[in-house]
Copies of this chain bind each other. A is one copy, B any other.
Amino acid sequence: MITGKNYIGNTLSAKGSKTYQTFNPKANTKNTTSFVEATPEEIDAAVALASQAFDTYQKVSGAKRAEFLNTIADEMEALGDTLVDMYVSESGLPEGRAKGERGRTLGQLRMFADLIQTEDWRNPTISGEHNELRQYLIPLGPVVVFGASNFPLAYSTAGGDTASALAAGCPVIVKSHPMHAGTGELVASAIQRAAEKTGMPDGVFSNLNSAGIEVGVQLVKHPKVKAVGFTGSIKGGRALYDLAAERDEPIPVFAEMGSINPVIITQNAVEARASEIAQTYADSITLGVGQFCTNPGLIIGVASTEFTNFINDLGEKTAAIDANCMLHPNIHTAYEKNGKSVISQPDATIVAVHQGTVEENYAQAKITTVSGDAFLKNSKLHQEVFGPFSLVVQCKNEAQLLEIISTLEGQLTGTIIAQEEDYKDLSPLIERLQNRVGRIVFNGVPTGVAVVDAMTHGGPYPASTDSRFTAVGNQSIKRWVRPFSFQDFPEQLLPEFLKNQ
């Protein structure tokens, strides 16, 4: 069923000579399929086909595009255990997670299908002295999508970026994530079957294999590509953003990147329920082996005996949770390296490290701590350590805590853990935190991103490259569309939904 080839629209293609395999981190072995890296000619062909498909696809009715999205979901579902097994073999994540993420992915596809059943999402507007102006949203053109290492389904081949772009009327070219190329190909095959079954133009979707950076670079530089979606590291997202900004015709890049998701715990909360918070956070820090963009990598409080006790308790509870394997040896290596970098900074110390049996590719969870003074001075302590890692900052007082929040880099989320008696004093904290993040969670954990209208999954740089958009929920479609106006148009030349009646 898996061929290792590229999908150039409806055509399987493998003209290149470079190949690579995916890795099973749990078994600590390579998987068998060889994936053939796309050649410059294949990339050109995919983009040319996408550009051609755009002429047709942008005119396909919302109801027909919705049928396409729903059929993608059906075809993915029909892959059944084949998809789940492939996912597990390429990620080391448990079967339950695979099934949960599949459900989320199908849900997203169907949500966008619902959205575009009517044309309301295009925000049709009529105004002017004589109603002479009629505006609606139109698609930008071919979109390139770079999937995430940590969400082989929900933020990859048929994930949120692809679903929202296809919903908007933009053809999509996926730069397949090398860590789960097999999962990617299975999903690509589902999309391709759905496109054929629902009569979509050839080239509305392509899937290109790549283990290096060349394919992505060529795609982002291609004059016929009109926008880019990316989920991953700051380094990767920034590189694509720079390439896109340097083009003769710059194009928008929405990159959802790094975040350490600060959690602020008040003294009252520590005094009232330290043990409960410690358990909740030990679980959140180690959930999915800490491999979430919303992982709580930074916990901030004012130094006190109770806070010290909390930190030790959090360390013990985190260290006690069973270790598990990371997505890939490279991710494990980066986890070790980045963790060491934080711990080697002046004043940083380890509170606790998981001590149980640890197999190859398994991450040892770590809780570390540092003073507010040191944290303020040293931006190396602000770096994301992707994995089950958190740094607890002990501020000397409330003012220092606020200063840290104000000067923090942009984040996807911030969390406030507080008691009712704190409410009256929280405004300064909320205001500062709001200016640095896309979402504030109250007395909860940042891990978990609901796919609903009111979700903001994005935030000030470097959480994203453009805080004016969200990567999750119906509103994420806005990344791929632009307003357009007809002026003084004869009724018969207008789209149906812009006519007078």
Contact = CB atoms under 8 A, between A and B. Distances in A.
Contact of A125 (B250, B420, B454): B454
Interface string A440-457: 111110000010111110
A133 interface: yes
Copies held by the complex: 2
B487 A438 contact: no
A450 B483 contact: no
Interface string A172-197: 00000000000000000000000000
Contacts of A361: none
Interface string A451-476: 01111101011100111111000010
Contacts of A132: 450
Nearest to A475: B483
Nearest to A481: B468
B440 A486 contact: yes
B423 A484 contact: no
B441 A488 contact: yes
Nearest to A480: B468
A435 interface: yes
A488 B128 contact: no
Contacts of A420: 490
Nearest to A227: B468
Nearest to A446: B487
Contacts of A488: 441-444
Contacts of A435: 141
Contacts of A469: 482-483
Given A241-B250, A468-B252, A493-B426, A485 B134 contact: no
B431 A140 contact: no
A125 B450 CA distance: 14
A245 B470 CA distance: 20
A454 B453 CA distance: 24
Residue of A251, A252, A452, A492 with most chain B CB atoms under a 10 A cut-off: A452
Given A135-B454, A440-B487, A493 B431 contact: no
A493 B423 contact: yes
B126 A454 contact: yes
Nearest to A126: B454
A467 B138 CA distance: 11
A435 B485 CA distance: 12
A439 interface: yes
A249 interface: yes
A50 to B, nearest CB: 14
A59 B431 contact: yes
A353 interface: no
Interface in A133-165: 133-135, 138, 140-141
A490 B416 CA distance: 11
Contacts of A126: 454
22 contacts: A125-B454, A127-B455, A128-B454, A135-B454, A135-B456, A138-B434, A140-B467, A241-B250, A245-B250, A249-B460, A252-B466, A439-B485, A440-B485, A441-B487, A441-B488, A442-B490, A444-B487, A454-B485, A456-B484, A468-B479, A469-B482, A475-B483
The 3 closest A-B pairs by CB, nearest first: A245-B245, A133-B454, A135-B454
